[in-house]
Structure 1
Amino acid sequence: MGPPLEGEPKRKCTWVHCPIIVGAGPSGLAVAACLSDLGIPSLVLEKSHCIASLWQNRTYNRLRLHLPRHFCELPLMAFPRGFPKYPSKHQFIRYLESYASHFGIQPHFGAHVQSAEFDVELGCWRVRVGEEEELVSRWLVVATGENAEPVVPEIPGLERFAGRVIHTSCYKSGVEFKGQRVLVVGCGNSGMEVSLDLCRHNARPFMVVRNSVHVLPREMLGFSTFGVAMALLKWLPLRLVDKFLLAMAQLILGDTDILGLRRPKTGPIELKNHTGKTPVLDVGALSHIKSGHIKVMGAVKEIRKEGVKFVDGREEEMDSIVLATGYKSNVPSWLRGDDIFTGEGMPKSPFPNGWKGSNGLYCVGFTKRGLLGTASDACNIAKDIHLHWNEKKNLATKSSTPTTEA
């Protein structure tokens, strides 16, 4: 990276003897906790002013964990016993805050990482924070995750729309849309839940379904569908488990194809493993689709000033548009010269081997396997750093031991 160019502001350069972790969401906290458990300190950098900023600032009020709590625990600390099976957004945030407190994690808030690059001469990572500071460390952990930035698709005519347009990262409650006709672009878990929330506040959602999607019941006969799948995968081939899940979904939910929700030809678990596309776990939206309260629409051809024209020729007036179009990694915007990430900011190697790069670079929270994947990566990263940490301590001890001449 070298010295600053002429005209650039001079930066305060600080040597950091411990790993630098970029991001104070669940992934960054998990790595910091695992390191702490092994007696290794860390420096956690967070550009916002709170931990888990995505959960605190970019999620809707009715959000609950889609999986039972024991599948969403971070390493070394369980949820409190009194928490429900599916904790709410606010309960999960409380859990993360107590997790950080328990392990003594104190992130540096307001620390916006501008860039990070490996310095070959130093053999260390140089991390530029803000306009005036540069940190140097042997280890760098990228924990900004898959969901760092909202994805806003290019839809013809969107700029002409006279009503309100927001991404789900800004959506809080359907109370703001009472009595409105709302176009919800996207039919993943967020699109389904936002549509359901709009219904419950007397709005009229029109949900755009452009591609095929697997919809599964959240529970089967009182047991978590995800839990059932994980248990069966220990004994049965993946495709047989997929067939079982689809048969149960047909029995419990009925034929979703007739509702405009075409299922992919690939089974839900196989599709998740190959593409990262998560099946929708139904929490009530499907019944509103069946009753007609949520209208399923095809692809959008163009947005007009007062409404929408669809590819099938239908036209509908709309008051607002909610983009349930997901998130993406922001790694390409700040990490330089790494060997671990693709141009889209995702690991080149699939889970469970994508957590480690070269020159002391690691990543966590990019597995497309939720908090279970995060926990796995965090443990691996801490163990690997621990090995090098002990090597460094042993070398330091040897170098400081006095020698005698014969």
Structure 2
Amino acid sequence: MTDVAAWLGSFERALADNQPDLIANLFLETGLWRDFLAFDWTLATHEGRDAIAEFAKSRAALTAPSNWTTEAAAGASEGLIAFETAIGPGQGYVRLVDGKALSLFTMLSDIRGHELPLRQRRVSGLIADAEGRNWQDLRQADRDTIGVSREPYVLIVGAGQAGLALGATLRLLGVPHLLIDKHPRVGDQWRSRYMSLTLHDPVWYDHMPYLQFPDHWPVYTPKDKMGDWLELYAAAMELDVWTGTELKSARPTDAGWTATVVREGEERELKPSHVVMALGNSGFARIPEIPGAESFRGAQYHSSAHRGGEGLAGKRVVVIGANNSAHDICADLVEHGAFPVMIQRSSTHIIRQSTMTDVMLKPLYSEQAVEAGMTVERADLISASVPIRLQEIGSRQAWARIREAEAPFYNRLEAAGFKLDFAEDGAGIAGKYLRSGSGYYIDVGACEMIVDGRIALRSGHDVARIVPDGIELADGEHIAADMIIYATGFGAMEEWVSRLIGPDVAERIGRCWGYGSGYRGDPGPWEGELRNMWKPTAQQGLWFMGGNLAQVRFYSRLLGMQLKARLEGLVVA
């Protein structure tokens, strides 16, 4: 039986001989080759032998790959691989079935001559300055000139975890950058959220790049603690951040961009070569237009403006929506003595936090994985090595098992009237998140409150109208309310582009996020990678940086290398 080492030898010879058909025949008929910058300056998955042959034909000779090695043991059918290209070292992962590749993942690790200064490449820290300046003097001079007498090569709009992670990579690669953020302090995106919020993912999954949480860090990070960590991170990574600054407009030019920002009430003009939108996975807060809203006598606002249930004891609160924010807010209201009613307009996917932590993430992101020698870098590579097509299949299989194992939990929820779904094809949270980024709740306790009635539930009927003392549902039911909270999500990410850059550019780039599954919120055609994320878009010099903490950790390096390659003239477009 062909093992990884033997397969890799055949693959290397076929590449060296520039035999695309022979390369393709090393894969299953439905095999997949996922490549992140190693063979082409983009992120793409090539599916099936014809697509693989075409990719190899167009890119193999230009890439000049060589020195393929593997850590896989003799006889192994999958394992980590390493190689060299004309641009730099690469790494990846291969999975075999009956001696043929089910999937191959290849990724550029570094740009030769412009490697990240990590570990053995770290700088000495000794400073010999002709003017006698120390590190603090030089750092201050750098801050004082960027965006003033020195233009940033990259303008990053948003200094949350996505913008900061990319900024850290650019700083290490020597790419002049400037982050702008409307909040007064770095981390305020988290501090300003509702009081009860904690991260729903565990600490092992949520490290920022180059600077991990300390070993005593809690498993689930409170939101203010996360905000403080991001502020510390920006300082430790020496990032150039203008807080209290908003992007007013940006226009593409022949030389790059002209961006107008407002800092402390004063308009300034910047001329970066690239603009990165790092404003999160969503657009502006979305509040549905419901007849009679103006007549309501109580307070009403979007969930993004909710700070907590303090002072709301005894209040009747209608929460419209049934995803993460709605559940968390309802649970917080209960704990503060209020009486919430959740209006579930459509079905919701539920995953228990224990299932997320102890089943789905445990093999790669857990204390047990760390003790077994798993590093964050290795875990990220293995995770990324699974093409989305295979992720769908694996998720459907996993959720079939989870639904059976946790049937009593789901049965109790449905008995309480809650409308459940597991994504249209049964792919669960992975399907929901990657397709639309919404439609789910990671249960940290609110579901039990629904079951026992502490959170009242109305499901299957939308709000027909709002009246002075509450709401009326489509079935005619009147629900009295002192307050209405719209946990109704956000618009699409490309909405930022339409408002800040222009509808023409938004139309040119098309959708952001989703991979063309054809399911709700993610229309086809199939693309196999998230649209416009972390890779070139149809608008030259416009990029998107977003995702959860694990994604921004991993993809910040890839996007940073693409920008560095353009700064150094390795890529023209």
TM range (shorter): 0.7 to 0.9
- 1:161 and 1:210 mapped to 2: Cα distance? 20
Answer yes or no: is 1:277 the counterpart of 2:438.
Answer: yes
Matches within 5 A, 1:3-18: 16-18=151-153
* Aligned counterpart, 1:83: 217
TM-score by length of 2: 0.60
Q: Distance in 1 between matches of 2:245 and 2:269?
A: 11
User: Offset at 1:110?
Assistant: 2.5
My pick for the range that moved more, 141-150 or 110-119, is 141-150
AA partner of residue 101 (structure 1): A
Q: Does 1:239 align with 2:396?
A: yes
Q: Any idea what SS the aligned residue of 1:237 has?
A: helix
| Structure 1 match to 2:490 | 327
Show the counterpart of 1:312.
475
Structure 1 CA distance for aligned equivalents of residues 261 and 532 of structure 2? 29
CA–CA distance in structure 1, aligned partners of residues 476 and 363 of structure 2? 40
User: Given that residues 275 and 543 in structure 2 are in contact (C-alpha distance below 8 angstroms), is that contact kept between their aligned partners in structure 1?
Assistant: yes
Map 1:1-150 onto structure 2 (within 5 A): 16-57=151-192, 59-120=193-254, 123-130=255-262, 132-147=267-282, 149-150=284-285
Contact 1:217 1:253 in 2 (8 A): no
- 1:297 maps to 2:458: yes
The residue identity in structure 1 corresponding to 2:244 is G
The answer on whether the counterparts of 1:13 and 1:136 sit within 8 Å (CA) in structure 2 is: no
**Structure 2: gaps of 5 or more residues:** 1-146, 366-381, 516-526
1:152 matched to 2:315? The reply is no
Shift, 1:287, TM fit:
1.3
Shift of 1:225: 4.8
Moved more, 351-360 or 293-302: 351-360
Aligned length: 374
CA root-mean-square deviation: 2.8
* Alpha-carbon distance between aligned partners in 2 of 1:342 and 1:315, rounded to the nearest angstrom: 44
Cα distance change on mapping 1:276 and 1:223 into 2, 3 Å = closer
Aligned equivalents of 1:73, 1:129: Cα separation in 2: 31
1:113-143 CA distance string (max 9 Å, x none): 11111112xx211111236421112222111
SS of the residue corresponding to residue 406 of structure 2 reads helix
Give the C-alpha shift of residue 341 in structure 1.
6.8
Match of 1:390 in 2: 568
**Contact 1:19/1:137 (8 A) holds in 2:** yes
Q: 8 Å contact 1:242–1:270 — kept in the other structure?
A: no
The residue type paired with residue 257 of structure 2 is W
Which of 253, 266, 274 is 2:425 aligned to? Answer: 266
The 2-side partners of 1:384 and 1:319 are apart by 52
Change (3 A) 1:320 1:153: same
Q: 1:372 aligns with which of 544, 550, 556?
A: 550
CA displacement at 1:347 relative to structure 2: 8.1
Task: Report whether the alignment pairs 1:180 with 2:361.
Answer: no
Partner SS for 1:20: strand
Q: Once the 2 structures are TM-superposed, how far is the Cα of residue 278 of structure 1 from its aligned partner?
A: 4.8
Equivalent residue for 1:354, pick from 533, 537, 547: 533
User: What is the SS of the residue equivalent to 1:322?
Assistant: strand
Pairwise CA distance, 1:344? 6.8
Note closer, same or farther for the CA distance 1:225–1:312 as it changes in structure 2 (3 Å cut).
Answer: farther
Q: CA-to-partner distance for each residue in 1:293-345, whole Å, 9 max, x for gaps?
A: 11111321111111111122221211111111122343321123547975676
- How far did residue 223 of structure 1 move? 4.1
Quote the residue 1:7 is aligned against: none
| Residue ranges of structure 1 left out of the alignment (5+ in a row) | 1-11, 393-406
Q: Secondary structure at the match of 1:239?
A: helix
Q: Cα 1:146–1:52, aligned 2, differ >3 Å: closer, same or farther?
A: farther
Number of the residue aligned with 1:201: 336
For structure 1, which segment, 336-345 or 167-176, has the greater mean C-alpha deviation from structure 2 after superposition? 336-345
Matched AA of 1:150: A
Q: Are 1:381 and 2:562 an aligned pair?
A: no
Structure with greater Cα Rg: 2
Any idea what SS the aligned residue of 1:187 has? coil
Q: 1: CA distance between counterparts of 2:267 and 2:395? A: 52
Length-normalised TM-score, structure 1: 0.84
* Gap change, CA 1:386 and 1:63, over 3 Å in 2: same
Measured in 2, the distance between the counterparts of 1:262 and 1:226 equals: 23
Query: What whole-Å deviation, never above 9, does each CA across 1:198-235 have from its counterpart, x for those lacking one?
Result: 11111111000010111121103x94354159899879
Q: Residues 346, 286 of structure 1: CA spacing in aligned structure 2 closer, same or farther, 3 A cutoff?
A: closer
SS at match of 2:214: coil
Q: Indicate the residue corresponding to 1:4 in structure 2.
A: none
Match of 1:5?
A: none
Name the aligned partner's letter for residue 208 of structure 2.
L
Aligned residue in 1 for 2:524? none
